[in-house]
Amino acid sequence: MLVIDRLREYVKENRSDIVSDLRSLIKHPSVSAQGIGIDECAGVLNGIMRDAGLESRMIRFEDGNPIVYGEVKGESSKTLLFYGHYDVQPAEPLDAWRYNPFSGIVTDDKVHGRGAADSKGNVIAVIKAIKAMLDLNGTLPLNVKVLIEGEEEISSVHLPAFVKEHASMLKADACVCFDGSLNPSGSPNIYAGLKGLLYVEFRARTASVDMHSSLAPIAPNAAWTLIKVLNSLKKNGRIMVEGWYNDVKVPSKDDLALLDRLEYDVESIKKDYGVKEFIGKVKGKAALKRLLFEPTCNIAGIYSGYVASGSKTVLPSEAFAKVDFRLVYDQRPDELFNMLKKHLSDMDFTNVEVTMLGSLEPSKTDPNARIVKAVASAASNVYNIEPLVFPNSWASGPDYVFTKLLKMNSVWTGCSPAHANIHAPNEFTSVRNVLDGICYVSSIVQEFAK
Element (DSSP H or E) covering residue 322: strand 318-327
Interacting stretch for a copy of itself, rule CB under 8 A, among 35-43, 144-152, 212-220, 331-339?
A: 212-220
Is residue 282 part of the contact set for a copy of itself (CB under 8 A)? Answer: yes
Interacting stretch for a copy of itself, rule CB under 8 A, among 107-115, 273-281, 339-347, 366-374?
A: 273-281
Q: Contact with a copy of itself (CB under 8 A): which of 47, 53, 160, 220? A: 220
Shortest distance (Å) from residue 432 CB to a copy of itself: 25
What end-to-end distance do the CA atoms of the chain give, in Å? 10
Q: Contact with a copy of itself (CB under 8 A): which of 16, 93, 168, 209? A: 209
* Rounded CA separation 121/391 (Å): 25
Contacts of 29 (CB under 8 A, 6+ apart): 36, 37, 41, 88, 91, 102, 114
Is residue 301 part of the contact set for a copy of itself (CB under 8 A)? Answer: yes
Q: What are phi and psi of 442, to 5 degrees?
A: -60, -45
Residues 251-270 that bind a copy of itself (CB under 8 A): 266, 269
Q: Which is nearer to a copy of itself, 41 or 328 (CB)?
A: 328
Q: Contact with a copy of itself (CB under 8 A): which of 62, 253, 263, 274? A: 274
Q: Which is nearer to a copy of itself, 322 or 432 (CB)?
A: 322
DSSP state of 255: H
Measuring CA to CA, how many Å separate 143 from each of 44, 376, 448?
Answer: 24, 20, 11
Is residue 314 part of the contact set for a copy of itself (CB under 8 A)? Answer: yes
Question: Residue 194 pairs with which residues in a beta bridge?
Answer: 363
Shortest distance (Å) from residue 298 CB to a copy of itself: 4
Interacting stretch for a copy of itself, rule CB under 8 A, among 242-250, 313-321, 335-343, 436-444?
A: 313-321
* Rounded CA separation 56/48 (Å): 9
Residues 87-146 that bind a copy of itself (CB under 8 A): none
Other C-beta atoms closer than 10 Å to the C-beta of 237 total 12
Q: Binding mask 22-51 vs a copy of itself (x if CB under 8 A, - otherwise)?
A: -----------x------------------
CB 161 within 8 A of CB 330: no
Nearest Cα residue to 74 out of 140, 1, 2, 172: 140
Q: Which is nearer to a copy of itself, 27 or 205 (CB)?
A: 205
Shortest distance (Å) from residue 196 CB to a copy of itself: 12
Q: Which is nearer to a copy of itself, 76 or 268 (CB)?
A: 268
Determine the length of the chain: 450
Q: Contact with a copy of itself (CB under 8 A): which of 242, 260, 306, 419? A: 306
Residues 358-397 that bind a copy of itself (CB under 8 A): 358, 393-396
Measuring CA to CA, how many Å separate 59 from each of 34, 43, 107, 298, 397?
Answer: 20, 11, 35, 36, 21
| DSSP code string of 334-365 | HHHHHHHHHHHHHTT-TTEEEEEEEEE--EE-
Contacts of 48 (CB under 8 A, 6+ apart): 21, 24, 25, 124, 127
Q: Contact with a copy of itself (CB under 8 A): which of 223, 327, 435, 439? A: 223
* Rounded CA separation 368/255 (Å): 9
Q: Binding mask 316-355 vs a copy of itself (x if CB under 8 A, - otherwise)?
A: xx-xxxx-x-x------------------------x----
Q: Contact with a copy of itself (CB under 8 A): which of 76, 246, 298, 368? A: 298
Shortest distance (Å) from residue 278 CB to a copy of itself: 4
Shortest distance (Å) from residue 119 CB to a copy of itself: 16
Give me the amino acid identity at 172: A
Is residue 219 part of the contact set for a copy of itself (CB under 8 A)? Answer: yes
